[in-house]
Amino acid sequence: MAAFRGSSASASRRPSPAGKAELETARVVVPFEDNRLLTQLLGEYDSHLALIEDRLGIDAHAHGNVVILTGPAAACDIARNVLERLYARIRKGETVGAGDIDGLIRHARTEGSETDGQAQIATRRKVVKARTPTQSDYMRAIQKKDLVFGVGPAGTGKTYIAVAFAAHCLERGLVERIILSRPAVEAGERLGFLPGDMRDKVDPYLRPLYDALYDVLPPEKVERDIETGVIEVAPLAFMRGRTLSNAFVILDEAQNTTSMQMKMFLTRIGEGSKMIVTGDPSQVDLPFGTKSGLVEAVELLAGVDDISIINFMAGDIVRRDLVAKIVDAYEKPK
């Protein structure tokens, strides 16, 4: 049975979510049948409740087999919805954490008290759930469209979600291979001064793609598929002259492509393939005066059928709160 806990701050001193209707104070009692599952629901030292309090500006404490919520009515309704959905996941044997809570709250704030809009991708190793409404839009766009652009700041999950979706499609036989690529553009360094052969030189640029693969697929499968060519990780220059059919193709860091490189890459898509292009237009490492191929492509292809452009904002950053603060500071007018 969970221990009683209370908040040291009253609801009246907490920032309320926007909207006059949400200022109405409410007291909501949320019961749960199985006390044995409450420890997972509440988190260690009730850390999950503390996160809900902080995010929604309410008071939340557990007593016996109930959780008591006090604060703005709309915020309490969101908290109740989040707790009930977390509890349902735990009953299914899923592990829940801070990221799950944050994702449910972000979706609920956008869609009212409903959180059914949270999209997810299942791979053999894990289930990746959208943590923001924009991530949900991105997942659905990848499912429906053959060419998708994910554009926005670092930490919004653009590349990770694309790789997870690629793994999902490969495991279900929807594609025959995964092709991951990046332009090998230096951020102040020179490839020629790095030791080793060409693969040794480009691997540091492709490391984030490897990391995402190992997170969503068993390591032994990744190694085997790379060895057999089912998964190919290569710099953008290696794409020229190829037709990529029955493949899930991802171009990461696309802000560092030139106009000609981007056109070359986009025209590689063949039958039965999906292509995802990700990048952050605010982090271009091209020579001064060179227009980013990503920026140009988004301008030219907006509104074209079978192409979706998903724009991520600073509010979609899920890496950690500090990253969002850093991005905000850099985006403020000088």
- pLDDT confidence band for 126 (50 / 70 / 90): confident
Query: Tell me: the pLDDT tens digits for 16-31?
Result: 444 444 557 888 899 9
| CA torsion, ordered 43, 47, 53, 59, to nearest 10 deg | 80
Q: Indicate if the pLDDT at residue 211 is higher than 60.
A: yes
What pLDDT is attached to residue 17?
47
Helix (H, G, I), strand (E, B) or coil at 310: strand
Q: Show me where the domains of the chain are located.
A: 11-118, 121-331
Nearest-angstrom CA–CA distance, 162 and 182: 14
Query: Tell me: the pLDDT tens digits for 279-318?
Result: 999 999 888 889 999 999 999 999 898 899 999 998 888 8
Contact 282, 242 (CB under 8 A): no
- Provide the percentage of residues in the chain whose pLDDT is more than 90: 39
Query: Three-state SS across 34-57?
Result: CHHHHHHHHCHHHHHHHHHHHHHC
What pLDDT is attached to residue 198?
52
Q: Indicate if the pLDDT at residue 233 is higher than 60.
A: yes
Q: DSSP assignment, residue 303? A: T
Helix (H, G, I), strand (E, B) or coil at 214: helix
Residue, of 320 and 181, whose pLDDT is higher: 181
- Architecture field, domain 11-118: 2-Layer Sandwich (3.30)
What pLDDT is attached to residue 8?
33
Task: Classify domain 121-331 at the CATH topology level.
Answer: Rossmann fold (3.40.50)
Q: Which of 30-34, 100-104, 112-116 has the lowest mean pLDDT?
A: 112-116
- pLDDT confidence band for 188 (50 / 70 / 90): very low
What pLDDT is attached to residue 293?
95
User: Could you tell me how many residues make up the chain?
Assistant: 334
- Provide the percentage of residues in the chain whose pLDDT is more than 70: 81
- pLDDT confidence band for 199 (50 / 70 / 90): low
First to last CA, the chain: 54
Q: Indicate if the pLDDT at residue 323 is higher than 80.
A: no
Residue, of 321 and 266, whose pLDDT is higher: 266
Q: Which of 130-134, 145-149, 167-171 has the lowest mean pLDDT?
A: 130-134
What pLDDT is attached to residue 185?
61
- The letter for the amino acid at 196 is G
Query: Tell me: the pLDDT tens digits for 235-287?
Result: 888 888 888 999 999 999 999 999 999 999 999 999 999 999 999 999 998 88
- pLDDT confidence band for 45 (50 / 70 / 90): confident
Q: Which of 19-33, 111-125, 138-152 has the lowest mean pLDDT?
A: 111-125
Q: pTM higher than 0.85 for the full model?
A: no
Q: Which of 23-27, 46-50, 210-214, 284-288 has the lowest mean pLDDT?
A: 23-27
> What is the residue-averaged pLDDT of the chain?
82
